[in-house]
Amino acid sequence: MSCNEKTATSGTGAADSAFSASSQALPRLSWRPFSPTALEALPILARGSALRFLLTRLYDWLHKQDGAFVRPKDPLEYRDRLRFHKGVTGPGDYGLD
């Protein structure tokens, strides 16, 4: 299961299996491990990414256009993801020990 297939719903900030990395989700690890700097930056980058998607979806949800081909998606999915990423204490929460 990839990091983006499921939303964390526990609300506790604890690692959710939906966000665990695996060799299938991150094939990059098989040939080049992450540097300590990259692993340290991962939680803040994930929070920024979740916030960006939340805001984009929220804007689209609030500014629906008649006749648009794109259907707005629920922004609350990324609110839950953002909550998860805010509770991450290190790469181990993503399964990257």
> pLDDT tens digits, residue range 67-83?
888 888 999 999 999 99
Largest CA distance in the chain: 48
> pLDDT tens digits, residue range 14-64?
445 555 555 455 555 567 788 889 898 999 999 999 999 999 999 999 998
Number of DSSP helices (H) and strands (E) in the chain, helices first = 2, 0
Which residues in 17-54 are b (16+ Cβ under 10 Å) and which e?
ebbebeeebeeeeeeeeeeeeebeebbeebbeebbebb
Taking the model in full, what pTM does it have?
A: 0.63
Where does the pLDDT of residue 4 fall: very low under 50, low under 70, confident under 90, or very high at 90 and above?
A: very low
* Domain extents in the chain: 17-89
Mean pLDDT value across residues 7-17: 46
The CA distance from 74 to 60, in Å, is: 9
Residue 5: Cβ within 10 Å count: 9
The CA distance from 20 to 97, in Å, is: 11
